[in-house]
Copies of this chain bind each other. A is one copy, B any other.
């Protein structure tokens, strides 16, 4: 592969001049510029990003460590992150932690070894050692979706509190009284916050929330299935199951169907995180939707601000309730255009 030296030789100038042309430094004669550009053409030269990074100490690359690529929520997040980063002249390297702290650490380490300019993380747990080190070492970093309390890193996330309250109000309005939740890992902020919001909203409506109605999941479908089976085995099963993420909701749906029960007639179902597929399941699933794309873009902007020396800002966006049919009431316009997005 042709190097800058070859280009210099071909153009009859020094490597310094070639470099100047490539970085359009003002002080280059028109003549030299055209000769260099021609040489670049004929040789099909492309600058070696590795060498450039070594010299300039910047890679123009962002690392993104997500908890689970198989979760459509994170996929959409990753897509918007890459899009915004590209618009700002950065590339993104994605690391998939599969909800495992050790894998998360592996990716953080690898990313740091590559000297990425900044790190976007949605921590899989309370904070793996490698991540904390990175934060302490001053690597530009931004948390997205989930975060770690007590660590001084900007956070870009959605606040589901209001939407969860709306959801509970909606369910209460439909006459449901026994509501259960499938929680995410307590070590994740999204895991604990959603339960917290749910608990508060229940209290506001004077509804009891017995421990038996709080199931411990891990954001994976299998756990949703297991917890739901537990609920159905109770002497007095809940009337509604609220899953703290979309994968657990699908596990729940599966468990319900396996018993031959119908949604919403026999038991209602709602989920946190709206995904396109919820429109297509039968019945369509009522969910709390995060502004995922905007979250990803805001996170990139915050991180790039931090990298380029501007003060980064934490951002909290609102989530909103999308009512569909899985809780009993038909959505306002059952067969309207396509994405049935009515806010309660």
Taking beta carbons and an 8 Å cutoff, which residues of A are in contact with B? 1, 44, 46-51, 53-54, 59, 69-70, 72, 75-76, 78-79, 82, 86, 91, 93-94, 96, 106, 109-110, 112-115, 133, 137, 221, 225, 250, 253-254, 257-258, 260, 276-277, 279-282, 335, 338
Residues A338 and B277 in contact, CB atoms below 8 Å apart: no
Could you jot down 5 A-B contacts, CB within 8 Å? A46-B113, A50-B50, A69-B79, A250-B277, A254-B280
- What is the CA–CA distance of A54 and B250 in the complex, to the nearest angstrom? 47
Residues of B near A79 (CB, < 8 A) are 69-70, 96
Q: With both chains docked as a complex, state the minimum distance between the C-beta of A128 and any C-beta of chain B, in angstroms.
A: 16
Residues of B near A253 (CB, < 8 A) are 280
Residues of B near A59 (CB, < 8 A) are 50
- What is the CA–CA distance of A312 and B257 in the complex, to the nearest angstrom? 46
Oligomeric state, in copies: 2
Max count, chain B CB within 10 A of own CB: residue among A54, A137, A250? A54
Contact partner of A49 (CB less than 8 A), chosen from B115, B133, B254, B281, is B115
- What is the CA–CA distance of A71 and B338 in the complex, to the nearest angstrom? 19
Residues A258 and B72 in contact, CB atoms below 8 Å apart: no
Q: With both chains docked as a complex, state the minimum distance between the C-beta of A109 and any C-beta of chain B, in angstroms.
A: 7
Residues of B near A225 (CB, < 8 A) are 338
Q: A54-B51, A335-B257 are in contact. Are A112 and B46 (CB under 8 A)?
A: yes
- What is the CA–CA distance of A1 and B115 in the complex, to the nearest angstrom? 10
Residues of B near A221 (CB, < 8 A) are 276
Residues of B near A137 (CB, < 8 A) are 1, 44
Residues A277 and B279 in contact, CB atoms below 8 Å apart: no
Residues B47 and A113 in contact, CB atoms below 8 Å apart: yes
Q: A54-B51, A94-B94, A257-B335 are in contact. Are A280 and B250 (CB under 8 A)?
A: yes
